[in-house]
Amino acid sequence: MGTMKDVAALAKVGVGTVSRVLNNSGAVKESTRRKVEAAMKELNYIPNAYARGLKMNKTHTIALIIPTIWHPFFSEFAYYVERNLSEHKYKMLLCNSDVSNDKELEYIQMVQENKVDGIIGITYSDLDSFVSSHLPFVTIDRHFKEETVCVTSDNFHAGELAAEKLVEKGCKKLGYIGTHSRFPTETTKRRSGFVEQAELMEIPYAIYDGEDPVVEFKQEIRTFFEENPDVDGVFAHTDFIALDILEVLEEMNRKVPEEVQIIGCDGIKMEAGRKQFLSTIRQPVDLMAKAAVEKIILVIDGESVKTKITLPVHYVEGPTTKNQMSK
């Protein structure tokens, strides 16, 4: 595994020429090109990305910062991000922040040392100051003061859709159960969309919305149902919360979907082919990943980008709502 100099020597040309054939830049006579290619093959030449990165100040690597890859939503997202990056010949450095501010900052630092070309981040801490640096940055579901580009799904409509479906399926009193971060997030609109739609339809509703981190969350859910025994349709802020609700309801001996119907939000699946195990409002994870990758590359290439991209959500029928509530 030699260097460019070895190839040049073997092909009896200068290193500049080798570089030219390697990058298809400048004009090279067909015969020399062939000589060089032969030499490369013979030496099993592999260009050194670090040397190139140093020279070009460009690494063709982006960092993905997420709370934890051990979560089906993030792992699906990471899957599609990697796949899209790979199509653009980019590599992906994976960073788990564990929802710790310190770790997020540490990673941003690390990532600058490593000279990634940009960052795609689902972060929940207060990074505003750091994002101000000129590193290309694309966030998911999260606004910063700066004009960073943000990819999100139509969270408001997710809420509307959930309320609408629940009522369509015969619910008489709705509930919203969720938690939110201290920091401004797109996902808080799930609640407002839900509330707005409920009011539009003049359906009564109850709300539980705790601030993360909530301790004894299951107990909170139980209290919610004890205080609102007539709620027969609930929209959970995430699918995992829906799962928690399911567990509580089972403990309380209340049947789903017969007595209470539940719609989650996110649309997590455990692996590519497997079906949903909840009725849910699904975010278009693949499209979000694609958008995030395309945008980050545009930003890296210095093009200006619309600062907010909102993708559509869809209702997916699963086993936690009543099937076909037809006439």
Chain contacts with DNA (rule: CB under 7 A): 3-5, 8, 12-20, 22-23, 25-29, 31-33, 47-48, 51-52, 54-57
Q: Which of 10, 140, 268, 291 binds a copy of itself (CB under 8 A)?
A: 268
Binding mask 175-214 for a copy of itself (x = CB under 8 A): ----------------------------------------
Rule CB under 8 A: which of 41-100 touch a copy of itself? Answer: 46-51, 53-54, 59, 61, 68-72, 74-76, 78-79, 82-83, 86, 91-96
The number of angstroms, rounded, from the C-alpha of 282 to the middle of its chain's C-alpha atoms is 13
Interface size with a copy of itself, residues (CB under 8 A): 43
Residue 255 or residue 275: which is nearer to a copy of itself going by CB? 275
User: Where does residue 26 rank: exposed (0-12), middle (13-18), buried (19+ CB within 10 A)?
Assistant: exposed
Residue 274 or residue 327: which is nearer to a copy of itself going by CB? 274
What 8-state DSSP symbol labels residue 186?
A: G
Residue 25 interface partner, choices a copy of itself, DNA, none, CB cut-off 5-8 Å depending on type: DNA
Residue 86 or residue 223: which is nearer to a copy of itself going by CB? 86
Instruction: Rule CB under 8 A: say whether 110 interacts with a copy of itself.
Output: yes
CB of 1 to a copy of itself, least distance (A): 8
Residue 91 interface partner, choices DNA, a copy of itself, none, CB cut-off 5-8 Å depending on type: a copy of itself
Instruction: Rule CB under 8 A: say whether 242 interacts with a copy of itself.
Output: no
Residue 174 or residue 268: which is nearer to a copy of itself going by CB? 268
- What string of H, E and C letters represents the secondary structure of the chain? CCCHHHHHHHHCCCHHHHHHHHHCCCCCCHHHHHHHHHHHHHHCCCCCHHHHHHHHCCCCEEEEEECCCCCHHHHHHHHHHHHHHHHCCCEEEEEECCCCHHHHHHHHHHHHHCCCCEEEECCCCCCHHHHCCCCCEEEECECCCCCCEEEEECHHHHHHHHHHHHHHCCCCCEEEEEEECCCCEHHHHHHHHHHHHHHHHCCCEEEEEEECCCCCHHHHHHHHHHHCCCCCEEEECCHHHHHHHHHHHHHCCCCCCCCCEEEEEECCCCCCCCCCCCCEEECCHHHHHHHHHHHHHHHHCCCCCCCEEEECCEEECCCCCCCCCCC
Residue 240 interface partner, choices a copy of itself, DNA, none, CB cut-off 5-8 Å depending on type: a copy of itself
Residue 15 interface partner, choices a copy of itself, DNA, none, CB cut-off 5-8 Å depending on type: DNA
Which residues of this protein are in contact with a copy of itself, per CB under 8 A? 1, 46-51, 53-54, 59, 61, 68-72, 74-76, 78-79, 82-83, 86, 91-96, 109-110, 112-115, 240, 243, 268, 270-272, 274
